[in-house]
Amino acid sequence: MSAISFQSVSKAYPSPRGSQSDTFLALDRVSLDIEPGEFFGLLGPNGAGKTTLITILAGLARATSGRVSVLGSDVQTDYAAARRKLGVVPQELVFDPFFNVREALRFQSGYFGVKHNDAWIDELLESLGLTDKAHVNMRALSGGMKRRVLVGLALVHKPPVIVLDEPTAGVDVELRQTLWAFIAKLNQQGSTVLLTTHYLEEAEALCGRIAMLKQGRVVALDTTSALLKAASGNVLQFKIDSELPPSLKVGARITGRVVQYPATDALAIERYLAAAREAGLMLQDIEIRRADLEDVFLEVMKRHAPAESPTAEVNA
């Protein structure tokens, strides 16, 4: 039995006014099966449909068509059972401003019918670096701290399936590491983890398998290592202080002063360097590295670039 099963899930929203079609497909027949114990990454650019998929998984929105289940419980027909098996950290910061941190965790615990949970609540507070904030009102917490509490709230009933929608957005480096160590421990103890993040180095380090979504469709699905192996190989990277001539912009990924080229072999690297020398560019911090998940991600998104219109008619 899959931990999470999405079977041909589509979600149509009314189109923004002025568009040609009546409906807009935020999800287009997404099928994914995540096995118990997996650490699974769901990646995609803004608006790809990640949160929509998670909202449907959490039973907070209805799929237009398709089925979704958590450890065998259908999220529509068996909502309460499915919900109990799930711990969801939402992307949006939502919380009750009247509680302090410990009260919020206790209340959530009660909501799931879990009694005498203080030992686990203490462990959560400790693992999330919130012990000294236990009595602070939710209103008085910083953004990053609120996000930590959301993680605690999701885990308070010890769900076997943990879903994290950008849990590290706005979280400082130190806590990110503690948070990942904690989630990795839960995963080693058997919890299934579904993660969305825009920090691709986190996904690369943590996820055994990854799906990439673009405009509501699954455009890549494989183990992280297979995705990395299929990438173009190496990347030549350097920094420059001046403008890159147009001829050198072809195929380049430019981020501020940093220029990167995917390069399959030494010859390609030599060619780029020779062209840069001919153009009289002063190169700094030259580096040749293996392609990473960010390179793979950009390659996959580009390959599916001139996408068909994301809008479509749905009769469901």
CB nearer to ligand ATP: give 24 or 238: 24
The one among 7, 21, 31, 47 contacting ligand ATP by CB under 6 A: 47
Of 155, 152, 117, residue with least CA distance to 133? 152
Q: How far is the CB of 202 from ligand ATP (least distance, A)?
A: 14
Confirm or reject binding of residue 197 to Mg ion (CB under 5 A).
no
DSSP code of residue 266: H
Question: Which residues, numbered 182-241, are part of the site for ligand ATP (CB under 6 A)?
Answer: none
Closest-CB residue for Mg ion? 51
Q: What string marks each residue from 24 to 43 as x (binds ligand ATP by CB under 6 A) or -?
A: --x-----------------
Question: Which residues, numbered 63-122, are part of the site for ligand ATP (CB under 6 A)?
Answer: 91
The one among 6, 10, 28, 44 contacting ligand ATP by CB under 6 A: 44
d(CA 258, CA 241): 9
- Between the alpha carbon of residue 270 and those of residues 263, 264, 267, the distances in Å are 10, 11, 5
Q: What, of Mg ion, ligand ATP, none, does residue 13 touch, CB below 5 to 8 Å by kind? A: ligand ATP
d(CA 96, CA 90): 14
Q: What, of ligand ATP, Mg ion, none, does residue 44 touch, CB below 5 to 8 Å by kind? A: ligand ATP
d(CA 292, CA 233): 9
CB nearer to ligand ATP: give 216 or 262: 216
As to burial, measured by CB atoms within 10 angstroms (0-12 exposed, 13-18 middle, 19+ buried), residue 283 is middle
CB nearer to Mg ion: give 102 or 217: 217
Asked if residues 120 and 156 have their Cβ atoms less than 8 Å apart, the reply is yes
DSSP notation for 35-95: -TT-EEEEE--TTSSHHHHHHHHTTSS--SEEEEEETTEETTTTHHHHHHTEEEE-SS---
Q: What string marks each residue from 46 to 85 as x (binds Mg ion by CB under 5 A) or -?
A: ----xx----------------------------------
Asked if residues 47 and 39 have their Cβ atoms less than 8 Å apart, the reply is no
Confirm or reject binding of residue 52 to ligand ATP (CB under 6 A).
yes
H helix or E strand, kind and range, residue 173: helix 173-188
Q: How far is the CB of 304 from ligand ATP (least distance, A)?
A: 15
Q: What, of ligand ATP, Mg ion, none, does residue 87 touch, CB below 5 to 8 Å by kind? A: none
3-state secondary structure 88-100: EECCCCCCCCCCE
Confirm or reject binding of residue 192 to Mg ion (CB under 5 A).
no
Residues at the interface with ligand ATP (CB under 6 A):
13, 26, 44, 46-52, 91
